[in-house]
C-alpha cells in the first residue's frame, strides 16, 4: 500500500451497506434444495432494525439494503420481524386507531412489527431436505411473506436464528429459470 492511500472516513458522506443481490442472481429449479434460496446468516449479515426506529426510517433502510424485511432487535436480542408490507399496509392506521398516538411519524417499528412469539419458523435440520418448489408452496399456502429458520443449540437455551426465507425472493428465483430457459 502506498503512503497516503489511507484517507479519513470523515472525508465522505455517511457510509451505507451494499445492495444485496438475489443470491448472486442464481435461478432455481423447483427440485433444487431450498437452502439455495435462503438468506443464511452464517454467510450474510442479517438486516436488523431497533424496535424504537421510526417506521418510515425503517422502510428507507429496507430500500437502501434491497430487502423487504428486517429482524427487529432489542439489546442484541431478536424480538420480532417487520416487513415493507407491514409499514405500507394497514398496520400503521390500525395502530393509530387503537392507541393514544395521533401522528404517523410517531409510530415506531415495535408498535407494528410481528412479535417474536407470533412468528412462524422452520427448523434448520428440516429445511435442508426441502426442495425450493415445496418451500414456495408452503409459503404461498400459509400466505406468509417471510419465514424464520431456527437452529437449535444443544448448549444454549436460546434458539439461533440461522436464516430467513423470503417468498418474493424465492418466487423470483424460480421464475427466473423459466425466463432464462
Over residues 136-156, mean pLDDT: 88
pLDDT in tens, 44-81: 999 999 999 999 999 999 999 999 999 999 998 899 99
Bridge partners of 33, per DSSP, are 131
What whole-number distance in Å separates Cα of residue 14 and Cα of residue 138? 40
Longest pairwise C-alpha distance within the chain = 61
Bridge partners of 115, per DSSP, are 80
The candidate with the shortest Cα–Cα distance to 29, out of 150, 152, 175, 156, is: 175
Q: What domains appear along the chain, each with residue ranges and CATH number?
A: 27-180 (3.10.580.10)
pLDDT in tens, 118-137: 999 999 988 999 999 999 99
Judge whether residue 178 has pLDDT over 60: no
Judge whether residue 108 has pLDDT over 50: yes
Amino acid at each position: 500500500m502506498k503512503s497516503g492511500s489511507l484517507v479519513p472516513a470523515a472525508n465522505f458522506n455517511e457510509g451505507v451497506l451494499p445492495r444485496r443481490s438475489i443470491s448472486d442472481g442464481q435461478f432455481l429449479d423447483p427440485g433444487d434444495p431450498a437452502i439455495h434460496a435462503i438468506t443464511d446468516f452464517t454467510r450474510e449479515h442479517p438486516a436488523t432494525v431497533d424496535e424504537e426506529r421510526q417506521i418510515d426510517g425503517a422502510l428507507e433502510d429496507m430500500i437502501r439494503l434491497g430487502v423487504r424485511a428486517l429482524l427487529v432487535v432489542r439489546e442484541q436480542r431478536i424480538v420480532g420481524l417487520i416487513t415493507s408490507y407491514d409499514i405500507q399496509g394497514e398496520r400503521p392506521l390500525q395502530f393509530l386507531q387503537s392507541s393514544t398516538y395521533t401522528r404517523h411519524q410517531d409510530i415506531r417499528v415495535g408498535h407494528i412489527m410481528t412479535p417474536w412469539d407470533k412468528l412462524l419458523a422452520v427448523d434448520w435440520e428440516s429445511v435442508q431436505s426441502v426442495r425450493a418448489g415445496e418451500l414456495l408452496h408452503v409459503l404461498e399456502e400459509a400466505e406468509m411473506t417471510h419465514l424464520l429458520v431456527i437452529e437449535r443449540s444443544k448448549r444454549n437455551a436460546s434458539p439461533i436464528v440461522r436464516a430467513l426465507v423470503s417468498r418474493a425472493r424465492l418466487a423470483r428465483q424460480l421464475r427466473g429459470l423459466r425466463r432464462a430457459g
